[in-house]
């Protein structure tokens, strides 16, 4: 969410500058910002879980898991705790890899 606010603020600033500068410069900057969208959070719903991949540092992705209906998560492996969300402990190189790792844990029955 923080990345979205920063991006929106940047776009608004560019829009304001576009009125003062050549409009084509502002359009180029907005196009470059849109191309950098690959570094924004990626959210996917899978089997009743919401999985949000986020880049904690450049090239280091993790995923946060929560139930899509907002109920508590029950971790069936390990400490058997109940939480509203959990975050994967290991980094991956891409958002897709982080999401795939969570899907494997869900399919293996590690969360309910």
What are 36-77's pLDDT values in tens digits? 555 578 999 999 999 999 999 999 999 999 999 999 887 766
What is the helix, strand, coil percentage profile of the chain, to 5? 45, 30, 30
Identify the DSSP state of 35. H
Residue with tokens 């992705």: 61
Identify the DSSP state of 56. E
Q: Is the pTM of this model over 0.75?
A: no
Tokens of 86: 């959990």
DSSP-derived pairing of the beta strands 42-46 and 49-57? antiparallel
Query: By the 8 A CB rule, do 12 and 5 touch?
Result: no
Instruction: Enumerate the β-bridge partners of residue 72.
Output: none
What are 5-22's pLDDT values in tens digits? 545 555 555 555 555 545
């Amino acid at each position: 969410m923080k990345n979205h606010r920063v991006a929106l603020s940047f776009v608004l600033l560019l829009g304001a500058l576009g009125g003062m500068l050549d409009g084509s410069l502002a359009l180029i900057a907005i196009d470059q910002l849109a191309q950098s969208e690959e570094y924004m959070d990626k959210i996917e719903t899978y089997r009743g879980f919401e999985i949000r991949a986020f880049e904690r540092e450049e090239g280091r992705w993790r995923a946060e898991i929560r139930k899509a209906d907002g109920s508590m998560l029950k971790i069936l492996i390990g400490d058997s705790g109940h939480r509203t969300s959990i975050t994967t402990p290991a980094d991956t190189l891409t958002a897709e890899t982080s999401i795939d790792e969570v899907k494997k844990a869900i399919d293996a029955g590690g969360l309910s």
